[in-house]
Amino acid sequence: MIQTSFKSNQRLFGTDGIRGTVNKDKVTALMAVNLAMAAGEYFYGKAGTKKSRVLIGKDTRLSGYMLEPALVAGFTSVGLDSITTGPLPTPAIAHLTRVLRCDLGVMISASHNPYQDNGLKLFGADGFKLNDEVENEIQSRMISGPILAKSENLGRARRMEDAIGRYSEFIKQILPKHEDLTSMKIVLDCSNGASYKVGPEVLFELGAESVIIGAKPNGKNINLDCGAMFPENLAKITKLEGADLGIALDGDADRVIFSDENGEIINGDQIIAVLAREMQKNNELIDNQVVGTFMSNLGLENYLHKLNIHLHRTNVGDRYILDKMIKSNSKLGGEPSGHILLADFAKTGDGLLTAIKILSLLKKSGLKASEFLRPFKPVPQSLKNLKNIDKNVLLNKNIINVVENQKKELGKKGRILLRPSGTEDLIRIMVECTDLKLINTTTEIISKAIIKENDNKKC
């Protein structure tokens, strides 16, 4: 039987909005209608304009055609005008929500997940993602039911025709007016996702010679063996084309991974190091501090320490990174997966914005990407995902003891991090150490212990 609603004791929101398998999990048309009515009621009038309105964007998933009109129906029923943009990156929706003075914004996307999944990310009138308190209030209103608008006060819906152009101009302003990307050859992988129109357009307008891949979405090929989740093909093409740099965005383009001219992949930690170094040179870092996550490589922390830059660590997800950046007044934050936040320009991770900034720095350096974009040597790291595991197993005393014993074995040579995924049904085990043998041994000991305890719990 298809689930068309959620239980009152089930938390609808995860670490990055709502996400799940369409028509199997909590992501259904009925949920979208209910969410829109509840969120619309809560945010009505928040922007302080005479007519309340919401901005709705999406990536290229087939289910977007189902969820978009469901959201429009819900929002208009409580009196909000709805503005739809069609396929556009998540950071574009965050930006345009604020500059268009909308009461809220919604991005229909499951980010890097396969096409069968979809989700909803909500932004307030200020362009920031919602905190737990607001999400809980919206869910509470979904349960109690909204007050519908009178027939004469229903909202209207329209398509925003110049959304791509507005966002393109915003992206380009990260470069000084006298700069462009002429003489640079770039391979861009749009992951068959939300950036497939705006990404190539921005590179063209900035004068770059571009080889575009992953820009033929069919509703089912988003993130399919392409983009930031699978950058190997990008890396291969970058080398074959003799390009200066390869750029791989994910499905909703809020993260970016690079390839150098030799076809070697460069992750987010290296990019944070480059940006921190350059921003420090230009006195753009306040109090010499950067925000990373518990997944950030120990090599990054050591490199920043040599520059007298402090690395704050926080939970995984740009929402938590931004929160720490605001509290510490940091200008730069990010994570290995390619979420990079530049506080002076954006309020969420923006893959395209980061890519243009890196291209600008690379061109001015006069160096090869392999020389310029690898400022430190990463400490070896193992990441293992255990699927179909009860996440509460991490609270088991036996597991806690096993992990503590392994931490003692590693000592100061490494780190261990166990965390349940906030968007998928799995547990991630990260082990980092200068001793490769110790990494493999530690990973196996912990994973076997978790599987054993999980199986015992089922009996």
> What residues does CATH 3.30.310.50 cover in the chain?
381-458
Query: Is pLDDT above 50 for 5?
Result: no
Q: Cα(161)–Cα(83) distance, rounded to whole angstroms?
A: 10
- Give the number of other CB atoms < 10 A from CB of residue 241: 15
Q: Cα(171)–Cα(173) distance, rounded to whole angstroms?
A: 6
Location of structure tokens 């914004």:
105
Location of structure tokens 């530049």:
342
111 part of the active site? yes
Per-residue DSSP letters for 134-146? Answer: HHHHHHHHHHH-P
Query: What class, spelled out in words, does domain 267-350+364-372 have in CATH?
Result: alpha beta
CATH classification code of 381-458: 3.30.310.50
Residue 429: phi and psi, rounded to 5, are -115, 120
Work out the average pLDDT over 410-424: 81
The residues, any chain, with a CB within 8 Å of residue 65's CB and separated by 6 or more, are: 219
Which listed residue (111, 191, 259, 337) is catalytic?
A: 111
Alpha-carbon distance values, 105 to 101, 133, 345, 363 (Å): 10, 17, 18, 35
Spatial CA neighbour of 297 closest among 382, 357, 363: 382
Start-to-end C-alpha separation, the chain: 27
Query: Is pLDDT above 80 for 4?
Result: no
Q: For 131-158, b where at least 16 C-beta lie within 10 A, e where not — what string? A: eeebbeebbebbeeebeebeeeeebebe
Q: For 259-293, b where at least 16 C-beta lie within 10 A, e where not — what string? A: bbbebbbbbbbbbbbbbbbbbbeeeebeeebbbbb
Residues 284-296 pLDDT 10s: 999 999 999 988 9
> What pLDDT shows up at residue 409?
87
Q: Cα(198)–Cα(203) distance, rounded to whole angstroms?
A: 9
Instruction: Report the side by side order of strands in the sheet with 414-420.
Output: 381-387, 426-433, 414-420
Residues 374-400 pLDDT 10s: 999 999 988 899 988 888 888 888 899
Residue 49: phi and psi, rounded to 5, are -95, 170
Q: Cα(94)–Cα(351) distance, rounded to whole angstroms?
A: 13
Spatial CA neighbour of 285 closest among 297, 296, 294, 276: 276
Token digits for 241?
């084309």
> What pLDDT shows up at residue 292?
97
Query: Is pLDDT above 80 for 422?
Result: no
Query: Is pLDDT above 70 for 123?
Result: yes
State the fold for domain 18-162: Alpha-D-Glucose-1,6-Bisphosphate; Chain A, domain 3 (3.40.120)
Using a pLDDT cut of 70, give the percent of the chain over it. Answer: 97
How sure is the predictor about 424, in pLDDT bands with cuts at 50, 70 and 90? low
Helix (H, G, I), strand (E, B) or coil at 210: strand
- Give the number of other CB atoms < 10 A from CB of residue 242: 8
Alpha helix segments (H runs only) across 257-387:
268-281, 298-306, 318-328, 351-365, 369-372
Query: Is pLDDT above 60 for 6?
Result: no
Query: Is pLDDT above 80 for 2?
Result: no
Query: Is pLDDT above 80 for 415?
Result: yes
Low-confidence winner among 33-47, 227-241, 408-422 (lowest mean pLDDT): 408-422
Query: Is pLDDT above 50 for 133?
Result: yes
Angle, nearest 10°, between helix axes 198-205 and 163-172? Answer: 50
Work out the average pLDDT over 416-429: 81
> What pLDDT shows up at residue 435?
87
Residues 314-338 pLDDT 10s: 988 888 999 999 999 999 999 999 9
Query: Is pLDDT above 90 for 436?
Result: no
> What pLDDT shows up at residue 459?
62
Strand partners, 332: 342
> What residues does CATH 3.40.120.10 cover in the chain?
18-162, 182-262, 267-350+364-372
Which carries the bigger pLDDT value, residue 122 or residue 1? 122
How sure is the predictor about 3, in pLDDT bands with cuts at 50, 70 and 90? very low
Residues 20-36 pLDDT 10s: 999 997 999 999 999 99
Please give the mean pLDDT across all residues of the chain.
Answer: 93
| CATH number belonging to the domain at 182-262, selected among 3.40.50.300, 3.30.1700.10, 3.40.120.10, 1.10.287.90 | 3.40.120.10
Alpha helix segments (H runs only) across 124-267:
132-144, 163-172, 198-205, 232-241
